[in-house]
């Protein structure tokens, strides 16, 4: 009996040693490109829920499954990095900032400038976004991509125009915004093919539209069409068709049927 207990304790100890041998303890620190520690960085073992967050000094300590484990370092505003543990027990990571969105060019009333330098309320819709909608009307294409812009169809008739309100009504008369197509004010956006448009910029605040004066009281919509470019000729074709038909339409009566119904409803009394 004593021998059996010793064997069981030996097997239990071997299992604990194997389990502890499989685990790898990894520690380190996370800093930015200036060498400053970054607190709150998520350090996650890829493919699992095992993870920790760096402390106020940017340090972390994590036990992973093995040397094949991959650590994922992520933080808001920083580029995500993945590092394989391998034979390392100390992994120090330097995260770099992401400035891609801030370097975008935004069209304003008097030209273009970088997005990070823009203080006005502007909205940009690119050509790829327009083509993804598969519509024949530019305003219909940006209808679902324009926060703060109310775009409604005038009526239910096919081909009817659209009413556009930018941040509510600015005047008691004409509430339509000012359309500027390729630098020319007063154009009709409904005459443009969405495939010919390079971008649409909506200037929603007074600061961005101030250059256009009183005409911009209801906002400005800047439309830039595609221009010729150097290189090989590219030909694209987009074709769409639709069928409209009225169901259950009533057929008119012929002359004989009309006479029968009239005589039935309005019989003529014979004269005495």
Distance CA 212, CA 209 (A): 6
Dist. CA 88–CA 194, nearest whole Å? 55
The per-residue pLDDT of the chain, averaged, comes to: 77
Least confident of 117-131, 219-233, 255-269: 117-131
The residue with greater pLDDT, 23 or 84, is 84
Dist. CA 146–CA 181, nearest whole Å: 18
When pLDDT is averaged across residues 206-217 and rounded to a whole number, the result is 72
Closest-CA residue to 194 (of 151, 245, 140, 237) = 140
Q: How far apart are CA 140 and CA 190, in angstroms?
A: 10
Confidence of residue 117 (pLDDT cuts 50, 70, 90): very low
**Are the C-beta atoms of residues 160 and 153 closer than 8 Å to each other?**
yes
Give the pLDDT confidence score for residue 53 in this predicted structure: 92
- Claim: this prediction has a pTM higher than 0.75: no
Strands 149-153 and 162-166: antiparallel
CB atoms closer than 10 angstroms to residue 228 = 5
Considering only the C-alpha atoms of the chain, give the largest distance between any 2 of them, rounded to a whole number of Å.
134
User: CA-CA distances (angstroms) from residue 195 to 140, 178, 183, 200?
Assistant: 13, 22, 19, 12
Backbone dihedral angles phi then psi of residue 269, each to the nearest 5 degrees:
-80, 135
* DSSP structural state of residue 271: P
Strands of the sheet with 93-94, listed across from one edge = 59-64, 24-31, 93-94
Residues above pLDDT 90, as percent of the chain: 15
Higher pLDDT, 203 or 172: 203
In angstroms, rounded to a whole number, what is the distance separating the alpha carbons of residues 54 and 51?
10
Out of 17-21, 41-45, 55-59, least confident range: 17-21
CA-to-CA separations, 32 to 24, 61, 71, 77, in angstroms, rounded: 26, 18, 17, 11
Handedness of CA 170, 173, 179, 184 (dihedral sign): negative
For the chain, which domains are there? 19-94 (2.60.40.1120), 101-225 (2.170.130.10)
Residues in Cβ contact with 31 at an 8 Å cutoff, skipping those fewer than 6 apart: 37, 38, 58, 92, 93, 94, 95
């Amino acid at each position: 009996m004593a021998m059996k207990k010793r064997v069981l304790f030996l097997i239990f100890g071997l299992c604990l040693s194997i389990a502890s041998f499989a685990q790898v303890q990894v520690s380190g620190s996370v800093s930015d490109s200036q060498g400053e520690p970054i607190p709150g960085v998520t350090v996650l073992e890829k493919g699992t829920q095992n993870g920790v967050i760096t402390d106020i000094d940017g340090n972390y300590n994590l036990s992973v499954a093995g040397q094949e484990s991959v650590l994922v370092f992520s933080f808001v505003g920083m580029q995500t990095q993945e590092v394989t543990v391998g034979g390392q027990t100390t992994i120090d990571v330097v995260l770099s900032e992401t400035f891609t969105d801030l370097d975008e060019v935004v069209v304003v009333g008097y030209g273009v400038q970088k997005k990070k330098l823009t203080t006005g309320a502007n909205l940009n819709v690119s050509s790829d976004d327009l083509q993804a909608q598969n519509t024949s009307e530019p305003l219909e294409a940006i209808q679902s991509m324009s926060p703060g812009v109310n775009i409604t169809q005038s009526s239910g008739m096919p081909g009817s125009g659209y009413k556009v309100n930018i941040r509510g009504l600015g005047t008691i008369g004409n509430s339509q915004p000012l359309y500027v197509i390729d630098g020319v004010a007063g154009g009709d956006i409904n005459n443009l093919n969405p495939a010919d448009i390079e971008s649409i910029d909506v200037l929603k605040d007074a600061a961005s539209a101030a250059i256009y004066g009183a005409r911009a009281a209801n906002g400005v919509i800047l439309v830039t069409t595609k221009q010729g470019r150097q290189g090989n000729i590219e030909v694209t074709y987009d074709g769409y068709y639709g069928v409209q038909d009225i169901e259950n339409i009533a057929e008119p009566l012929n002359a004989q049927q009309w006479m029968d119904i009239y005589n039935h409803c309005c019989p003529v009394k014979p004269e005495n």
